A and B are shown apart, each in its own frame.
Chain A
């Protein structure tokens, strides 16, 4: 039973670290601000949620300590991180940052 929870929380932590790695490669590899922001705000949000869930499971089972702050942090990060990505992208668009030269659709262009 103990081994199952340990393996589960280790899997959660490894999954979160893997998603962080994916988002770091996304920053390096993707061509413009919007696609980079897409990589960062989605996969690193999910990565940090996995890491926090793994930590919560580990401390709850190993030490019998249910930390409400981690639950609050999960809710808070899940709620605010995509909004931060949205605001960064929007301010980039309104200050005239060019899209990648191979992108085909710009729905907001009419409203400029």
Chain B
């Protein structure tokens, strides 16, 4: 008998946006509140897994044409470059710097290089999780 996934797919279209929004909020708020790159990355991959559950692998690959193995490499590259960036200024490895900047809409905010390190962690977590799930899902 023919299955009809209309309810699941319609709710997924809205719920995936809520999950992604929450993942970005957790990622950006990681310095001052619980959260950070790891949890944000896991929640982003949870949103993609929800899309995979509601639709199939081919559709999701058409929506997000990302090779997640490159994502792992990009994350490791960003993190190691951030770690090595201190060497340019004659300070030890993993020395981070920050500066307060006045942004027109957001006001007086601090930009910290630890966010770049966290971005690398985020990309690696999303890449590893999605690689595992896609590899298991594809094998017959």
Contact = CB atoms under 8 A, between A and B. Distances in A.
Interface string B11-25: 100110010011001
Contacts of A94: 1, 3
B7 A86 contact: yes
Contact of A111 (B1, B7, B15, B18): B1
A87 interface: yes
Mostly, the B contact residues are helix
B77 interface: no
Contacts of A83: 7-8, 11
A112 B7 contact: no
B11 A75 contact: no
A62 interface: no
A87 B18 contact: no
Contacts of B22: 69, 72
Interface centre among B3, B21, B22 (most CB of A within 10 A): B22
Contacts of A75: 18
Contacts of A72: 18, 21-22
A80 B50 CA distance: 12
A70 B21 CA distance: 14
Contacts of B25: 69
B15 A87 contact: no
Given A69-B22, A72-B22, A112-B1, A87 B8 contact: yes
A64 B54 CA distance: 40
B8 A79 contact: no
A79 B1 contact: no
Interface in B1-49: 1, 3, 7-8, 11, 14-15, 18, 21-22, 25
10 contacts: A72-B22, A76-B15, A76-B18, A79-B15, A83-B7, A83-B11, A86-B7, A87-B8, A94-B3, A112-B1
Given A79-B15, A87-B8, 8 more contacts: A69-B22, A72-B22, A76-B15, A79-B18, A80-B15, A83-B8, A83-B11, A94-B3
